[in-house]
Amino acid sequence: MLREDTQDRLIGWCRQALRFVLPVECIACGHSLSTDPVPFFCTPCWQTIRPLQQPVCARCDQPFVSPAATTYTPDHQCQDCQQRPPDFQRAWTLFPYLPPLREAICSFKYRGKYTLARPLARLMISALPGEIDVDMIIPVPLHPARLRAREFNQSLLLADQLSRHLARPVSATHLVRITATDPQTTLTRQARLRNLRKAFAVRKPQDLTEKRILLMDDVFTTGTTLNECAKALRQAGTGPIFALTLARTVDTSLVPDRLLAEQAAPPLTAIGIGI
């Protein structure tokens, strides 16, 4: 069996040869790709993806506006976690859900670009917190109807890559989605809460007794999906539940100026202003 680095080189050579015959443009900036190692993205665009490094909630990783929030209280929690403590013990969210990562996740998730699974997982692994200590990884499940339509579970593909790095098993059968709900992205916060109630169930709970579980998903928005998954698992008798997501939607006022500055401004002609 080929070593992973050898396999990557072979794939890179094949991709380069294919791009010579069939030119491909970077999804983010539109420049032609040549030897760029990440599918569908040029190296300069991919290198602008930086982890969130602000002070965050000690429970859900919600970024705080000011560093003062944790200066004297490192374990300070956001208002939501104080008022409605989540069922997970700790959630880590690694990158802001901004271009070009946003385009990469959407292409991966909605346009069938599943070859982005490995580079996206590598981004996640590059920013992993050191305190992760779990027995099993469980991806957030899709309802069978949505899985048939999409043909793959993006969270499972990321979890599979992470399980190799952490040397922990991944299970896609213990936590299942039993209700076909409307997409969370179309709903308000309150509607999200109602939408997912009792949407998840646990199969063979005896396999998970007192197990430390890491829930995996691609994007953290309000945390409702992860919390409902954690609730179902805890009710089934697991140990503490942790959560990990690749990206997080954030208010742009909470994103460091340097991240926004690195997003290339569109030319004036592109927004209808002649020069």
Examine the pLDDT at 271 and tell me if it is beyond 50: no
For residue 270, being part of any structural domain is answered with: no
Q: What percent of the chain has pLDDT over 70?
A: 77
115 and 23 inside one domain: no
Strand partners, 243: 91, 215
33 and 163 inside one domain: no
Examine the pLDDT at 165 and tell me if it is beyond 60: yes
184 and 56 inside one domain: yes
82 and 192 inside one domain: yes
Beta-carbon contacts of 48 under 8 Å, excluding residues fewer than 6 positions away, are 100, 262, 263
156 and 31 inside one domain: no
92 and 30 inside one domain: no
The pLDDT score that the predictor gives to residue 272 is 41
For residue 184, being part of any structural domain is answered with: yes
15 and 148 inside one domain: no
Examine the pLDDT at 267 and tell me if it is beyond 70: no
Q: What is the pLDDT of residues 186-226, one digit of tens each?
A: 556 566 666 677 889 999 999 999 999 999 999 998 899 99
Domain that holds residue 253: 51-258
For 25, phi and psi rounded to 5 degrees? Answer: -105, 145
191 and 217 inside one domain: yes
99 and 202 inside one domain: yes
23 and 65 inside one domain: no
The answer to whether the beta carbons of residues 193 and 182 sit under 8 Å apart is: no
The answer to whether the beta carbons of residues 140 and 216 sit under 8 Å apart is: yes
Q: What is the pTM of this model?
A: 0.82
Number of domains in the chain: 2
Quick one: tokens of 66? Answer: 């000011």
Examine the pLDDT at 152 and tell me if it is beyond 50: yes
Q: What percent of the chain has pLDDT over 90?
A: 62
**Distinct helix (H) and strand (E) counts, the chain:** 11, 6
How are beta strands 175-177 and 200-202 bridged, if at all? antiparallel
166 and 220 inside one domain: yes
Q: Which of 158-162, 174-178, 187-191 has the lowest mean pLDDT?
A: 187-191
For residue 188, being part of any structural domain is answered with: yes
For residue 152, being part of any structural domain is answered with: yes
Going by pLDDT thresholds of 50, 70 and 90, the confidence category of residue 108 is: very high
91 and 39 inside one domain: no
Examine the pLDDT at 80 and tell me if it is beyond 80: yes
